[in-house]
């Protein structure tokens, strides 16, 4: 037997522990000069099927890949056959195996009873009952830069982590069960995806928690740099065929096909009328679900700044409020979202306006949560909309965009 080589009985014990009951995690760390290379393997459930997730960390770069058992067996043979000094820690529900190969090539193995390992292998926040804790999200959080190497949430990313967690809480429950064709691909578009924190979190949530077998998510953003970064993250997380990104304006995006069908549209803080465009696209794509948290809204403010051209009743009642720019800005945000909610209702969507995250986390904490399925063009909804619109004598951007469908 060569130096550094594990003997056959030890190799067999490793195989049996990894592919037997109660396997939790294997980590092998190899030191090369000053640098270290680490590979870990853990079981994960993807679309209800058991897979093996390998995470490779080499000079600070993380790569994640999911394997079926056959490929995981080949990968494990490479781990076992690795040359040089290294540490291997294998964790199972019944106990641990520690293997140390010294610089001189001596192999030492020891076994220990199961350990309390919450802090060792899970992010600190896993103890809380949140969507990102409902599945093994460690690799995701690391790849997104939300968690550090030890699995702790970075202080600078705490706000984003909370925002994503709270957003995911509003993914409707039972979406897998409600599908008419459970085998069909569930298609989502994230409009104005930016660095795609939500896009990836939503993908893994839909697959691992909502129980959807086939999910395809498109992230659209007009910034080339964020799309390039999101594509690299998709490669690193081994989901690039299911989570795809396109550079461009939401208005010009199509998931393909003459009459594209999209199941869900999400947008998180898409600027100004980009939120309206996301809503309009969702209507045209006949999306059943929409989760949209609007951002800055300038469009209506421009009209409302001209107090003199408001109808007399609005001018008299609202002059004091509209004169102050901060009050006007906040009021126009509320008015814009009121128009949006009413338009969605007219078009057949049940629309709730909720605060999806605490206002301490972001002042932009409103979400329009819509589900298609009520009678469209109800007289009461149209009357409410027209009364509000005509009181201020404005034409909301979304009404102009969807004029052909609204027929007001």
| Residue numbers at the binding site for ligand SAM (CB under 6 A) | 192-195, 197-198, 220-223, 226, 249-250, 268-271, 274, 277, 295
Backbone φ and ψ for 46, nearest 5 degrees, come out as: -125, 120
Cα separation, 270 vs 301, in Å, equals: 17
Nearest approach in angstroms of CB 51 to ligand SAM is 28
Nearer to ligand SAM, 271 or 321 (CB): 271
- Dist. CA 54–CA 226, nearest whole Å: 26
* Of residues 97 and 189, the one with the C-beta less far from ligand SAM: 189
Find all residues with CB under 8 Å of 381, minimum gap 6, and list them: 342, 345, 346
Nearer to ligand SAM, 42 or 195 (CB): 195
> Shortest approach of ligand SAM to residue 155 CB, angstroms?
18
Q: Measured between alpha carbons, how far is residue 355 from residues 43, 62, 335, 367 in Å?
A: 36, 35, 16, 6
Q: Nearer Cβ to ligand SAM, position 23 or 197?
A: 197
> In the bound complex, what is the minimum distance in angstroms from residue 296's beta carbon to ligand SAM?
9
If the CB atoms of residues 6 and 202 are measured against ligand SAM, the closer one turns out to be 202
Cα torsion for 120, 196, 344, 370, to the nearest 10°? -20
* Residue closer to ligand SAM, measured from CB, 39 or 270: 270
CB contact set of 195 (below 8 Å; sequence gap of 6+): 144, 226, 229, 230
DSSP 104: T
Question: Residue 401 Cβ, how far from ligand SAM at the closest point, in Å?
Answer: 12
Using a 10 angstrom Cβ sphere, with 0-12 exposed, 13-18 middle and 19 or more buried, the burial of residue 48 is exposed
Q: Rounded to whole angstroms, how far apart are CA atoms 135 and 149?
A: 18
CB of 269 to ligand SAM, least distance (A): 4
Least separation in angstroms between CB 205 and ligand SAM: 15
Q: Shortest Cβ distance from residue 154 to ligand SAM (Å)? A: 15
Closer by beta carbon to ligand SAM, 198 or else 304: 198
Residue 371 Cβ vs ligand SAM, minimum distance, rounded to whole Å = 21
Closest residue to bound ligand SAM by CB: 194
Q: Cβ closer to ligand SAM: 23 or 245?
A: 245
Listed in sequence order, the residues at least 6 apart from 161 whose beta carbon sits closer than 8 Å to its beta carbon are: 125, 132, 141, 146, 153
Cα–Cα distances (Å) from 190 to 142, 163, 196, 263, in that order, read 21, 15, 8, 11
């Amino acid at each position: 037997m060569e130096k550094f080589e594990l003997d056959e009985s030890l190799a067999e014990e490793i195989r049996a522990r990894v592919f037997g009951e109660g396997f939790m995690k294997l980590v092998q760390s190899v030191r090369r000069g000053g640098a270290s290379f680490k590979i870990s393997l853990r079981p994960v459930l993807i679309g209800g099927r058991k897979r093996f997730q390998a995470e490779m960390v080499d000079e600070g770069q993380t790569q994640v890949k999911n394997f079926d058992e056959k490929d995981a067996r080949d990968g494990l043979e490479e781990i076992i056959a690795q040359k040089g000094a290294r540490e291997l820690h294998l964790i199972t529900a019944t106990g641990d195996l520690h293997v140390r190969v010294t610089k001189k090539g001596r192999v030492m193995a020891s076994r220990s009873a199961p350990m309390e390992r919450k802090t060792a292998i899970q992010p600190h926040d896993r103890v809380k009952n949140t969507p990102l804790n409902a599945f093994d999200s460690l690799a995701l959080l690391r790849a997104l830069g939300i968690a550090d190497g030890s699995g702790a949430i970075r202080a600078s990313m705490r706000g984003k982590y909370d925002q994503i967690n709270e957003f995911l809480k509003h993914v409707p429950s039972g979406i897998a069960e409600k599908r008419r064709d459970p085998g069909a691909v569930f298609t989502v578009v994230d409009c104005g995806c930016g660095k795609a924190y939500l896009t990836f979190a939503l993908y893994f949530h839909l697959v691992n928690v909502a129980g959807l077998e086939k999910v395809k998510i498109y992230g659209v953003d007009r910034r080339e740099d964020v799309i390039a970064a999101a594509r690299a993250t998709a490669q690193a997380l081994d989901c690039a065929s299911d989570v795809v990104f396109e550079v461009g304006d939401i208005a010009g995006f199509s998931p393909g096909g003459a009459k594209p069908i999209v199941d869900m549209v999400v947008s998180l803080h898409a600027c100004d009328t980009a939120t309206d465009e996301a809503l309009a696209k969702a209507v045209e794509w006949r999306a059943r679900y929409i989760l949209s948290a609007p951002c800055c809204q300038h469009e209506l403010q421009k009209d409302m700044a001209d107090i003199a051209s408001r109808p007399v009743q609005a001018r008299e009642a609202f002059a004091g409020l509209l004169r102050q720019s901060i009050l006007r800005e906040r009021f126009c945000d509320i008015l814009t979202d009121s128009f949006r909610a009413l338009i969605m209702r007219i078009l057949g969507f049940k629309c709730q306006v909720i605060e999806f995250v605490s206002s301490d986390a972001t002042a932009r904490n409103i979400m329009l949560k819509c589900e298609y399925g009520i009678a469209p063009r109800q007289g009461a909804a149209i009357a409410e909309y027209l009364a509000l619109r005509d009181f201020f004598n404005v034409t909301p951007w979304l009404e102009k965009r969807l004029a052909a469908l609204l027929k007001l």
